[in-house]
Amino acid sequence: MSVALPLRHFLLALAVVAVWGTNFVVIKLALGQFPPLLFAALRFTLALLPALFFLPRPRLALGNMAAYGVLIGVGQFGLLYLSIDGHISPGIASLVVQVQVFFTIAFAMRLSGERVQRYQWLALLLAGAGIAVIGAHTGGSTSLLGIAMVLGAALSWAAGNMVAKQGAASNILAYVVWSSAFALPPLFALSLFFEGWDSDLASVRSAGWFAWAAVAWQSWGNTLFGYAAWAWLLARHPAATITPMALLVPVFGMGASAWWLGEPLPAWKLLAAALVMGGLAVNLLWPKLRAHLKKG
């Protein structure tokens, strides 16, 4: 059964999901300065340095950390940055990428041989209906290509989750930091090939303080602070108490995009958000509610 969080711990969890949610707006603003693949490479460079000098290397197979680094660095964030660079609005991206939950469940069930439960079908139906609503309203700031790229990012995120679970690292922050080393070669190579040396160099030379602050926010705020604080909270409270806070990520994402970027929130976006988040909530909370009712 979940228990109430102390106020300080609740505020810390709220700060983490606020950072993760508003991060989508930071991405959009930074893409006005850096090409998307270079931006991703810079993000993982600062996530790696100087943290690797303070965190011990996880005693795991290099192949496991390499797979995680490539899946998260290139698959998740590479595709996410490419999509937000003119193909989908940050608010919608913050919502669509949450379907990684269902991809993760699918991978886990494929590996374990478990069957999908009825409440999971309901959750998937709700989330799928939300994505369909978004797909029916493409045009302007959101395209089918953008939705497809974010779904690809969610799929890579889910695959990375499974790789991390197989690695079973005792220190998830050290695992994320050291795995970042394997994201850098393909990201820099792809940036040089598709975005070009001249474009990359010009963007770095002309970058102002805000652009570099955005890179630091991505690396130190979103990754180091986010993972470290979340792991600290999970070590002190039941997962059933902490995990539901993640449902607020798209709330912060869509709210920040509307506030800072002027992204409109018509009825269809609110409906799509309600359906996707409703699906996530059913998947996350129904088993706990059912267990509580049985005990009662």
Instruction: List, for residues 252-267, the tens digit of each pLDDT value.
Output: 999 999 999 999 999 9
What SS3 state is found at 267?
A: helix
| Across 189-196, average pLDDT | 97
At 167-190, the pLDDT tens digits run 887 888 999 999 999 999 999 999
Q: At residue 4, does pLDDT exceed 80?
A: no
What SS3 state is found at 139?
A: strand
| Alpha-carbon torsion (8, 55, 190, 71), positive or negative | negative
CA–CA dist 99, 128 (Å, integer): 9
- Could you give the C-alpha distances from 142 to 1, 84, 278, in angstroms and in order? 40, 9, 22
Residues in the chain: 296
Tokens of 291: 């267990």
Tell me how far the alpha carbon of residue 76 is from its chain's centroid.
8
At 213-234, the pLDDT tens digits run 999 999 999 888 988 898 888 8
User: Does the bond joining 250 to the residue before it have cis omega, within 30 degrees of 0?
Assistant: no
Residue 223 or 24, more confident: 24
Q: Which of 84, 138, 105, 130 shows the shortest CA–CA distance to 253?
A: 84
- In sequence order, what are the beta bridge partners of 139? 142
pTM value is: 0.91
Mean pLDDT of the chain: 90
Confidence band for 166, pLDDT divided at 50, 70 and 90: confident
**Residue owning tokens 């922050």:** 173
Q: Which of 144, 173, 162 shows the shortest CA–CA distance to 48?
A: 173
CA–CA dist 93, 77 (Å, integer): 12
CA–CA dist 69, 182 (Å, integer): 5
Amino acid at position 90, single letter:
P
Confidence band for 273, pLDDT divided at 50, 70 and 90: very high
Q: Which of 129, 149, 144 shows the shortest CA–CA distance to 77?
A: 149
| Across 12-39, average pLDDT | 95
Stated as kind and residue range, the H or E segment containing 68 is helix 62-70
Q: What are phi and psi of 139, to 5 degrees?
A: 115, 155
- In sequence order, what are the beta bridge partners of 142? 139
CA–CA dist 64, 69 (Å, integer): 9
CA–CA dist 249, 251 (Å, integer): 5
Q: Supply the pLDDT for residue 238.
A: 74
The rounded percent of the chain whose pLDDT value lies above 70 is: 95
The rounded percent of the chain whose pLDDT value lies above 90 is: 68
Q: At residue 1, does pLDDT exceed 60?
A: no
- Could you give the C-alpha distances from 27 to 11, 218, 291, in angstroms and in order? 24, 8, 40
Amino acid at position 221, single letter:
G
Tell me how far the alpha carbon of residue 24 is from its chain's centroid.
9
Tokens of 261: 């970027």
Q: What is the DSSP letter of 87?
A: T
What SS3 state is found at 35?
A: coil
Give residue limits of the domains in the chain. Answer: 7-295
